[in-house]
Amino acid sequence: MGITWAGGVSASTTAASNSAARGKLPFSLHHHERRRVLRAANQYLHEPPITLTAYKSVRSAGGPHDYFSEGDYWWPDPANPDGPYVEKDGITNPDNFTAHRHALIRLSLHMPALTAAWVITGNKKYAQHAADHLRAWLLNPATLMNPNLQYSQAVRGRSTGRGIGIIDTIHLVEVARAISYLHGVNVLSASEHQGLQQWFTDYLYWMTESSFGHDERETKNNHGTCWTMQVAQFARYTGNETLTGYCAQRFKTILVPNQIAPDGGFPLELKRTKPYNYSLFNLDTFATICQILSTTSDDLWKFQTSDGRSVRQAVAFMYPYIAAKEKWPYPPDVQYFDNFPVRQPSLLFAGLAYQEDRYLNLWSKLDPDPTVEEVIRNYPIRQPVLWLTP
């Protein structure tokens, strides 16, 4: 049975849509998103794919196809300027190499928007250009990215890469989500679809079997949540039921019990230097995991621990401070505090899951297209059409 949205669009409750029965939007989603999506997609139609091979850093220990980034909060040591960098939590060093990250984020903006435009309009030109991005990034031997992050979040004088760099590929989650909408459009051949699945299969293997992947999985704050979100979506896309099941169990036994307090707050995020941003980000990640993995037989939206820890409680905790940030009772973030909130996907997903119109109404009023780089980086789920269209 499906739930009908305003405008007659039906949200499937089968495993194909990865969600249990939901409430309904107070508006037609395709109509609501049409102008926004087409404005972006029509711009992107005139911009060619640009992959990480267009940029290189002499500080990378990898090759031209290896993703490279440097830890954001690491700076030269005033007491030893030529020595290993030192950490300043929450304070971004603007001199670190970020070109590969920017290129990946550009992919995550362009390809899903183009795919959403195809879904809304049925115009094949959008799907064709979305496919061009996939070929460049994941299939073309001359320009593709290797399926690992061995050299991400490096720190000068300390490491050539770290497990926490895996968080950079949260920007592939919506890309992987979008690919399924390109089946049957004849913009990718059968062998190309197989190649895309193989890329994500290889990346999943690295994420789950490498020492870096193990390190990131066991990180106790939003990094561990992001590892689970990525593995869940990449496993869903590749049909790996073992890993989707593993992620659902990890959600119940590790993430919710260890990260959500009984009052709904995220203690590990609230003690950081950007408690507001990190709390929003982690909430969005939790909600996206629920959206990816929930089914009618295993609805993660309804899960709670024996002492009441749950995503429902986490959304209820943050909602008042999204609606009125001036009520935030914790210290303000050291950077970018004035630039949040934006159109947090947790409000949309939870609003439908819990049939909370106040969440949906607030979501519809917030900025869907921020322009500040740091905000975009922490807002990887941007195209609701790809999450709520069967």
In DSSP terms, which residues pair with 4 in a beta bridge? 10
Summarised one tens digit per residue, pLDDT across range 275-313 is: 999 999 999 999 999 999 999 999 999 999 999 999 999
- The confidence score (pLDDT) of residue 359 equals 98
More confident residue, 202 or 94: 202
- The confidence score (pLDDT) of residue 89 equals 83
Going through 18-148 in order, the beta strands assigned E by DSSP cover 68-70, 74-75, 86-87
CA distances, 380 to each of 28, 60, 219, 383 (Å): 23, 25, 20, 9
Q: What is the DSSP letter of 251?
A: I
The domains found in the chain, sorted by start residue, are 3-388 (1.50.10.100)
* Per-residue confidence band for 1, with pLDDT thresholds at 50, 70 and 90: very low
In DSSP terms, which residues pair with 3 in a beta bridge? 11
- The confidence score (pLDDT) of residue 71 equals 87
Average pLDDT over residues 39-64: 96
Average pLDDT over residues 67-86: 90
Summarised one tens digit per residue, pLDDT across range 227-250 is: 999 999 999 999 999 999 999 999
Tokens standing for 150?
A: 């061995």
Q: Are 358 and 319 in contact (CB under 8 A)?
A: yes
pLDDT of residue 45 exceeding 80: yes
- The confidence score (pLDDT) of residue 27 equals 84
* Per-residue confidence band for 20, with pLDDT thresholds at 50, 70 and 90: low
Tokens standing for 179?
A: 């690919």
Nearest to residue 385, comparing CAs of 21, 27, 101? 27
* Per-residue confidence band for 7, with pLDDT thresholds at 50, 70 and 90: very low
Tokens standing for 293?
A: 């993995």
The full DSSP string for 37-82 is HHHHHHHHTTS----GGG---TT-SS-TTS-EEE-TTEE-BTTBTT
CB atoms within 10 A of CB 172: 24
Tokens standing for 145?
A: 């990215």
* Per-residue confidence band for 196, with pLDDT thresholds at 50, 70 and 90: very high
Tokens standing for 240?
A: 């790996």
pTM reported for the whole predicted model: 0.92
Summarised one tens digit per residue, pLDDT across range 312-338 is: 999 999 999 999 999 999 999 999 999
Nearest to residue 3, comparing CAs of 27, 21, 17, 19? 21
- The confidence score (pLDDT) of residue 157 equals 84
Nearest to residue 390, comparing CAs of 130, 2, 131, 38? 2
Share of the chain above pLDDT 70, in %: 95
- The confidence score (pLDDT) of residue 81 equals 87
Tokens standing for 232?
A: 């869940």
- The confidence score (pLDDT) of residue 21 equals 58
Which sign, positive or negative, has the C-alpha torsion 329, 335, 40, 198? negative
CB atoms within 10 A of CB 143: 18
Average pLDDT over residues 66-78: 90
Share of the chain above pLDDT 90, in %: 86
